[in-house]
Amino acid sequence: MDYTLKYGHGELRVQLPSGPGSEVEVCQQPERSVTAADEQDIVGAALSKPIKSRPLADIVVPGERVCIVTSDNTRPMPSSKVLPGIIDSLFRAGVEPGDIQIVFALGIHRKQSTAEQRELLGPQIPDELRAIDSDPEDTVFLGRTPQGTPVHVFRPVARADRVICIGNVEFHYFAGYSGGAKAILPGVCSAETVEHNHRMMLDCGARAGKIEGNPVRQDIDSVLELLSVDFIVNVALSGEGQIAYAAAGHPVAAHRDVCGFVDRVNRKGSARRSNLVIASAGGHPKDVNLYQAQKAMDFACQFAADDAPVLCLGECSEGYGNETFAEWLRNTSSLDDVAARLHAGFELGGHKAYALARSTHGRTVGLVSSLPEPAVRDAFLHPVSIDDNGVVKIPAELMTSAVQTCSDTLHIAILPEAASILPTE
């Protein structure tokens, strides 16, 4: 039995062992046939019928400085498909091109090249529109959230007359869901702001698919009391990366609408947990580095029975992706070590090491990647190779571990887009 899964910009074949007494369940989003015209219609419908908001063209007025915040290239946000409709609405309202600025929300990610920015914008965006990366060191202090987070926002966003946020909504391993005000916090905030927000991930309520009682999401939404976000457009993607759903309007109401769609279609599988989970992070950009691919491992482990092994595919062409993350992995050897260090002094990057150690604790997690074997082992993972024919075979140690968690039928779960789905509650 072979399964083809995404890996970087390509695919890999994973070969399952043959034999009786096993069953395979593929857990993924339902397949949809979405054309480019369909995507335009979905976005257009959302813009024409905003939720708890006037249409965008009725909100802005000529002469106002408008800032559009969108995702950087570590996120699968199809900015080039959403921006044209927003810009058209602004032009119809009389806003001049010189008064529109597009900001890529980097958070604490690396800067992008001009070519990377242009690729995200696509050919339909006029050249006269300015596009810049956010800078966590050029910020304005706006106050503190009720949770005590000091909010420092990228100066051009803080000083804009109108702020529009766009984003992709999917499960997030401690913020509940991506999207909404997350474009602002952590998107265009200082490292200090991000650190204060992210340390709340240690709370038991900070988990994927949870909004109510999630302190991280509550803190994110609280930023709207300090910075006015006038309009958002959020989308949900199909398994093929096409826009399957969109909502626009109020920054909380429209976001929650898309969260509801994601919850309906992206909770998969039975309540039974599997003896072996084989998962792809979803290919580029979700597996561009281990810092990003970690999310898929976190979700994949939730499909696994106690102590059951997991095999993840994530190319990690840019290595670990974060120097602090790398330093923590190299200098801690267990979940207890990471947790003790994090509680002693929370540090961005270290929080990812904690999340990785927490999700892999007590089970064998294999990783197919381009990382050197020592780097994989430093990350609490087991390196798994690709044979000369480009095929991944399940290592004997994973199969042995899987059988040990099985009382009758060996249940195997295949997750083609592990970073996008959760098991049924």
**Per residue in 184-239, pLDDT tens?**
999 999 999 999 999 999 899 999 999 999 999 999 999 999 999 999 999 999 87
Q: C-alpha 237: how far from its chain's center?
A: 12
Written as one letter, the residue type at 341 is: R
Q: Give the 3-state secondary structure of residue 329.
A: helix
Residue, of 123 and 365, whose pLDDT is higher? 365
Domains of the chain (ranges, CATH numbers): 2-27+269-423 (3.90.226.30), 36-265 (3.40.50.11440)
- 366 close to 349: Cβ distance less than 8 angstroms: no
Q: 87, 94 in Cβ contact below 8 A?
A: no
Cα separation, 269 vs 271, whole angstroms: 7
Residue type, 153: V
| Token output for 364 | 């064998």
Count each helix (H run) and each strand (E run) in the chain, helices first. 13, 21
Q: φ and ψ at 385, to 5 degrees?
A: -95, 165
Q: How many CB atoms lie within 10 A of CB 395?
A: 17
Distance, in Å, from the CA atom of 164 to the CA atom of 162, rounded to the nearest integer, reads: 7
> Tell me, what's the pLDDT at 19?
62
Determine the Cα–Cα distance for residues 236 and 243; give it in Å rounded to an integer. Answer: 6
pLDDT in tens, 148-172: 999 999 999 999 999 999 999 999 9
165 CB-side CA count, 13 A: 28
pLDDT digits (tens, 9 = 90+) for 89-106: 999 999 999 999 999 999
What DSSP designation does 391 have?
Answer: E
Which amino acid is it at 123?
Answer: P
The amino acid that residue 280 corresponds to is S
* In the chain, % of residues over pLDDT 90: 74
Instruction: Kindly state the average pLDDT of the residues 166-180.
Output: 94
**For strand 2-7 and strand 10-15, is the pairing parallel, antiparallel, or unpaired?**
antiparallel
Average pLDDT over residues 366-371: 97
| Tally of CA atoms within 13 A in the half-sphere of 139 that contains its CB | 25
